[in-house]
Amino acid sequence: MTKLDIKIPPLVPAMTLRDAVLFPKAMMPLRIFEARYRQMLEDVLSGNRMFALAGVRVEEDPSKGDREVPFDVATVGVIRISKKHDDGTSFVLLQGIERVKIRSVRNHGPYPMLEVEPMKTKIDDSSLGVRKELVAQLERNRNLGGEVTDEMMDFLNPLEDDVAFVNLAAFTLCKQALRKQAMLEVSSLGKRANMLLDDLLRENEKLSLLKQARGDTPFDDIDLN
C-alpha cells in the first residue's frame, strides 16, 4: 500500500488508549490482547488494514462512570506488521497516516467506531526558519548528553518534508502524553514546531546548568536567554 493508495474512510475502527499519542509517519508497536481489539484486528486485516489510535480521558461526570472519552483529534494508522501468537494475542506495528478530527463515536459494536474528518497541517509564515532553529537545539541537546542521539539526527536530517520532521521529532522526544496530544491537535506547523522548540530550550537550559554545576561546562557556554 503506497501513500497514493491511502484514503482515510469517513468511519474507522478505533483503539482507545490512555497516555498514547501517535503522529503521522511514526511507528508504534502495540500488543493486542483484549477480546474487542482481537476482533477489530481480525476485521481490519481482512480489509484496508487501517484503524485509529485515540488517546482517552476519563469522563469527569461521576454519573457516567469510568467511560472512555477520546480526545477530539486522533491519528489513523495502517498496520505494517501483524504477528499472532499461540495465546491469541498479537504484535502489531502501526504507522500513522493522517491526523483526523473525531466527529462522533459509535460504541454499539464490540469495539469503538469513529466518524472522522482528515486534518491537514497548515504551513504558513510562522513555519519559516523554525526547522533550522529546531535542528540547532536538537544538536545542542545531543551534545549536552540529552535524549537526542546521533542515530536520531541521522534519521531526521534527510527528511525533506518539514511536517514529517516536526511530527517525528515531537513523537520521539515529547514524553508527557497531554503535551504530546496538544502538539498533535494544533493545526499550524509553526505552532507545533515552536511548542517542541520551547520544550527543547527548557530541557537544554536544565542540562547546561547541571553540567556547569558538575564542572563539565564553562559558565560562558550556558544559554541564559
Cell 499550524 identifies what position? 188
Parse the chain into domains and list their residue ranges. Answer: 3-118, 125-221
Sorted by sequence, the CB contacts under 8 Å of residue 112 that are 6+ apart come out as 13, 14, 16, 54, 68, 70, 105, 106
Report d(CA 30, CA 78) in Å as an integer.
Answer: 12
Report d(CA 16, CA 33) in Å as an integer.
Answer: 13
Contact 27, 95 (CB under 8 A): yes
Mean pLDDT by 10 residues, the chain (225 residues): 70 95 97 96 96 84 63 97 96 98 92 96 87 96 96 96 96 95 96 97 95 70 50
What cell numbers appear for 183 in the block?
A: 502538539
Q: Do domains 3-118 and 125-221 have the same CATH topology?
A: no
Among 20, 21, 32, 43, which Cα is nearest to 183's?
Answer: 21
Confidence (pLDDT) at 66 = 54
Interstrand relation of 11-17 and 50-58 (parallel, antiparallel or unpaired): parallel
Continuous segment of H or E residues that includes residue 116:
strand 113-118
Regarding the domain delimited by 125-221, which CATH topology (the fold level of the hierarchy) does it fall under?
Answer: Methane Monooxygenase Hydroxylase; Chain G, domain 1 (1.20.58)
Q: How far is CA 223 from the centre of its chain?
A: 29
- Strand, coil or helix: what is 186? coil
Report d(CA 121, CA 188) in Å as an integer.
Answer: 6
Burial of 38 (0-12, 13-18, 19+ CB in 10 A): middle
Contact 131, 123 (CB under 8 A): no
Regarding the domain delimited by 3-118, which CATH topology (the fold level of the hierarchy) does it fall under?
Answer: 2.30.130
- Strand, coil or helix: what is 11? strand
